[in-house]
Structure formats: C-alpha cells, structure tokens
Amino acid sequence: MIAKNKVLNEIARATRAREEILDLLFKPNVSRRAANGDIAGLLSALNYKRDQRVRADAARALGVAVSYRAVPALIEALNDEYDYVRVAAAEALGQIADRDVISPLIDALNDDNDGVRKVAVVALGKVKGRQAAPPLIEALSDDEWVVRTAAAEALGELRDTRSVPSLIDALQDPVYDVRKTAATSLGGFRDERAIEPLKKLLSDIAERYYTHRSNGSRIGSEKTRESGSKLRRIA
C-alpha cells in the first residue's frame, strides 16, 4: 500500500511539473500581444482554457483596443465559469459600446455575481440604448447596493424619462450612495416631477444635520453639508 501511494505521489508531482513546463512554453503573453495590436492573438488568449487570468487580461485588452471584431467572443465570455472573466468581458463590451452588445449585457444583469451585474449596468449606461432602460430601472431594486448605485448613475446617463418615477423612489433607498446618485441623476433630467421630492430630500438632510449639531455630534456633518450643497444646485 505504501509503495502504491509513493508511486501515485510521484505521478502527481510529474503531472504538476509537466503543467508548469507547458505554461512556461505556451502561456499567451497578453501584454505583448496588446502592445503589438495583435487582435488575433488576444482572441486566441481569450480562449486559453488553462488560466482564467489570461482570459480576463485578454478581455480587458480587447476592450482597450475597442475591437469590434472581438464582440462575439466577448459576448461568449460573459458565460465563462469564472466571474473574474465575466466581469472583464462585460467591462470590455461597455468600452466597445456597440449596439449589438445591449441584449447580452441585459442578460448579464441576471448573473449570480453582483460584480458582474454592476459592471453590466455600467456598460449599458455607456452604450445608451433605449431598450436598456427597463432592465436598468429594475436594477434599482437589486439586492446589492453597489448595483443599485450603478443603475441610478446609468439611468442618469441614459436620460430616458421613463426612469424618473423609479429614480424618485430611489431617493428613499436606505443606502446613502444610492440616494445621492439618484438625486444627481434626477437633476440632469430637469423634470418637474422631481422638484418636490428633491426639495423634501434636501429638507430631510438639513433636519438631520441640525439634529446632529444640537446633540453635539459632528459625525457625518461634512458629508451632509456636501450633499445639501449638491442638492440645492440640482433643485
């Protein structure tokens, strides 16, 4: 039994050594391919099955290169088993900002990973397709506040008036960053429906600030003053 285990351990060590040698010999050099503008080489690296980091780096490089040729492969990478790669693919598609990527990015809003959902939201804001408005509005109700914040910002960039009621609702979000981003986005619309809710938010901020002052607390006062100043400019 001991001899058998020793043989198995030796086989395992030999296999690991073989894998390391193969990586040294054949692992794609993404940085070099990106520097040379080698799109074909980057596409090949995007399909390198042995290392998810190579695939993610290749996806980012294709996004920086704004390679429309890479769109189909990057869309496929949205289904990679590693969320690290899916995030990079969604980010790259947002940089390329081709209208063909809208539908796959909308699908990515259902990803189990909140990082993927957030980056997909940001990407949709960059592409600015009207069909992205309904799913972005829905993303304002995401369980993760980082996704809700990104959705509020993306809807501000999209400037689709259908989102105004939902952004007004987001002014009541329990997370400060979501409320602040929703207020900023509403300010860009200059929509009369947002005036009173923004005034109320400003009043609530001022009330909380003076309550803190009266209690002798300065916790959050700087942030509150900054928010109030921004909201006054919006309203």
**Could you give the CA distance from residue 120 to residue 111 in angstroms, rounded to a whole number?**
9
Task: Show pLDDT as tens, one digit a residue, over the chain (235 residues).
Answer: 666 566 556 665 645 444 445 444 479 999 999 999 999 999 999 999 999 999 999 999 999 999 999 999 999 999 999 999 999 999 999 999 998 999 999 999 999 999 999 999 999 999 988 999 999 999 999 999 999 999 999 999 999 999 999 999 999 999 999 999 999 999 999 889 989 999 888 777 776 666 766 665 544 444 545 555 555 555 5
In a domain, 92, yes or no: yes
In a domain, 30, yes or no: yes
The tally of domains found in the chain comes to: 1
In a domain, 81, yes or no: yes
Q: Which two tokens stand for residue 1?
A: 């039994």
Q: Quote the domain boundaries for residue 22.
A: 1-127
Q: Name residue 170's amino acid.
A: A
In a domain, 150, yes or no: no
In a domain, 174, yes or no: no
Q: Give the Cα-Cα-Cα angle 182, 187, 190 (nearest 5 degrees).
A: 130
Query: Residue 70: which CATH number?
Result: 1.25.10.10
In a domain, 106, yes or no: yes
Q: Which two tokens stand for residue 145?
A: 């506040």
Which residues in 109-138 are b (16+ Cβ under 10 Å) and which e?
A: bebeebbbbbbbbbbbbbbbbeebbebbbe
In a domain, 227, yes or no: no
| C-alpha to C-alpha distances, 160 to 77, 164, 188, nearest whole angstrom | 29, 8, 11
In a domain, 77, yes or no: yes
pTM of the model: 0.78
Comparing CA positions, the residue from 165, 173, 167, 168 lying closest to residue 154 is: 167
Q: Name residue 226's amino acid.
A: E
